[in-house]
């Protein structure tokens, strides 16, 4: 269903930039769903810019060159990642040459790739996208709070709005980042847990926040993986090889409306659609 009020009335303020963030994309079946649906979704929702977390796009863990190309061709403007970004060695060259594919900024600075990019939206706005990773239960990384501060200190007037993907395990660390950046970015939306939360709001200063956007992946699964292997692991406590589930797919994310001129969020709402294939 399209959002009403997509065009400005005579003499009114410009229509807002609409940004869609898609939660963690899981596996080939979900890439197919996005290939078939994303361009239509952009039209139906009047979306000007799409950010998607792609770190589980290839086989449920990691992202490879083919899945990167497929998702960008499907209509994603910027791909963010997280702790699984290094699984496929071939992605290193892509990270170095493709400015629309990010890895977490606060990984050590000598790692390949970048954690920040500025790309044009379809309405002409220049959107900065910042990819951060949390430290709680996530392994070694530099401080995401200070890393964000350093980037924001150097942002120039050529950036109209900034979106932040906070890829983290704990709700507290994501919430803390929202408050840390309140009034300085258009939106902070979390990823990684594959479970969509219901706490969307606009923080003081015009920063949209949602703890987790959820996932784009198979519905009848355990966070995208086949139920059988996951259950065996819980019951036996032995290692199991997980595979991406099949069947119907849920697409989840958040739509942020950003005021032109101020770069502040006007509204945020959760988004969800099922795809039967």
Token readout for 267 is 């509204």
Please check whether residue 246 is in contact with residue 224, taking contact to mean a CB–CB distance below 8 angstroms. Answer: no
Burial 82-112 (b: 16+ CB within 10 A, else e): bbbbbebeebbebbeebebbbbbbbbeeeee
DSSP, collapsed to helix, strand or coil, labels residue 77 as: coil
What residue has token string 């493709």? 98
Identified catalytic residue from 48, 61, 84, 180? 84
DSSP, collapsed to helix, strand or coil, labels residue 228 as: helix
What residue has token string 């519905």? 219
Q: What are the distances in angstroms from CA 34 to CA 60, 148, 213?
A: 15, 30, 16
Catalytic (active site) residue 61: no
Question: Which residues are known catalytic residues?
Answer: 84
């Amino acid at each position: 269903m399209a959002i009403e009020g997509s065009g400005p009335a005579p003499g009114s303020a410009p229509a807002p930039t609409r940004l869609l963030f898609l939660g963690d994309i899981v596996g080939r079946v979900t890439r197919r769903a996005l290939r078939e649906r994303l361009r239509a979704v952009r039209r139906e929702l009047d979306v000007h810019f799409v950010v998607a977390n792609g770190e589980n796009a290839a086989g449920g863990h990691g992202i490879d060159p083919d899945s990167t190309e497929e998702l960008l061709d499907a209509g994603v403007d910027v791909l963010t990642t997280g702790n699984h970004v290094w699984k496929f060695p071939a992605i290193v060259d892509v990270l170095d040459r493709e400015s629309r594919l990010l890895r977490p900024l606060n990984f050590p600075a000598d790692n390949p790739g970048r954690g920040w990019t500025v790309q044009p939206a379809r309405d002409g706005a220049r959107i900065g996208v910042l990819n951060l990773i949390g430290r709680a239960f996530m392994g070694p990384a530099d401080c995401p709070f200070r890393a964000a501060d350093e980037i924001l200190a150097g942002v120039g007037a050529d950036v109209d709005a900034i979106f932040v993907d906070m890829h983290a395990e704990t709700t507290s660390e994501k919430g803390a980042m929202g408050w840390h950046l309140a009034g300085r970015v258009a939106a902070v939306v979390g990823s990684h847990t594959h479970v969509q939360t219901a706490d969307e709001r606009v923080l003081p200063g015009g920063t949209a926040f949602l703890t987790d956007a959820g996932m784009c992946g198979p519905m009848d699964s355990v966070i995208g993986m086949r139920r059988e292997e996951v259950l065996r692991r819980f019951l036996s406590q032995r290692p199991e090889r997980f595979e991406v589930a099949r069947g119907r797919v849920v697409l989840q994310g958040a739509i942020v409306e950003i005021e032109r001129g101020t770069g502040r969020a006007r509204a945020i709402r959760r988004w969800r659609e099922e795809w039967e294939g």
